Amino acid sequence: MKENNKILVTGAAGFIGSALICRLFGKYEQIIGLDNLNTYYDIDLKINRLNTIKKKNSKGDWTFEKCDLANKEHINSVIKKYKPDIVVNLAAQAGVRYSIDYPHEYIRSNILGFSNLIDACKENKVNNFIYASSSSVYGGNLKMPFHEDDKVDQPLSLYAASKKSNELIAHSYSHVYGIPCTGLRLFTVYGPWGRPDMAPMIFTKAIINGDPIDVFNNGNMKRDFTYIDDVIDGIIECCKKPPLPNKKSFHLESCSSTAPYRVFNIGNSQPVQLLEFIRLLQKEIGKDAKINYKPMQIGDVASTFADISKAKKCINFSPKISIEDGLKFFVSWYKEYYKIKI
């Protein structure tokens, strides 16, 4: 059933943004996508994601605007022009390791850009603001699994710090101006159309080409790999159910605050050893990897593990895709997209 309202998605040419938009057709009166189409990675991949969106848009309810969130006047004019009821912010300068060398890019995109967007939402009375946070906010926490109410004030990278800043800014806007805000701490999202700077794409390309892959912390790494379709399920549920304030709550929790604000972990809740991930990837590709074992990189963490009990309770979030099936779908897409024959 189509909702009689408008939804705006930033990062529309990105991995998660494009996947979300493809799932929104038929659900909303109008879908507006924003992206600045920067060259952080292969621009052709971004253009092809947008072309895929166009092919799925048979009813003409899709509009794209090239827009940089750091340009306050432009984002204000776009929000005023379309007057969306729901805004999903998936635009960000991504990558933990890139933030070590180019910190100013994260301040500009992830903090200034985020502030400009949420302020435009306030000015134009947006009814539901959803944004991507990250599992990286948990920093070096050793308690597993990570729970939303764990301490998150010791980030290990500027990327992580920028995402925690988003959560703090969102709460202040929610408290002062009453904007319903939901932050999603995403755990290692992978799948078709993924980012080239992430392990699945890097490893797959190297294995196919016979090049060595770097495995950090001497292979003693675990990640809560989360398939893209499961992440999109969680975002869509948040679109349907904006948070409400709990006036009886004196303890600010992720699902219960005196402001219409919440934060959820969105993960598979099934951490996988990196060497097991590589083994499964080798099986799907049909070739063995050449591995260079290296020490831990600065800004990285050894393990991630999402406690998703609050997302299950509040938005009925339940991941369905196993790592085995997810890698099968991913490798199949990769071979088709890059025209690989093995």
Cα→Cα distances 183→49, 179, 190, Å: 24, 13, 19
Q: Is 227 a catalytic residue?
A: no
Peptide bond into 180 cis (omega under 30): no
CA 15 – CA 153 distance, rounded (Å): 28
Catalytic residue among 28, 41, 82, 159: 159
The token pair at 189 is: 């999202």
CA-based Rg of the chain, rounded to a whole angstrom?
19
Give the contacts of 224 (CB within 8 A, at least 6 positions apart).
Answer: 135, 187, 188, 267, 268, 269, 270, 271, 272, 304, 305, 306
Give the contacts of 43 (CB within 8 A, at least 6 positions apart).
Answer: 37
CA 174 – CA 181 distance, rounded (Å): 6
CA 87 – CA 230 distance, rounded (Å): 20
Q: Which residues are catalytic?
A: 159
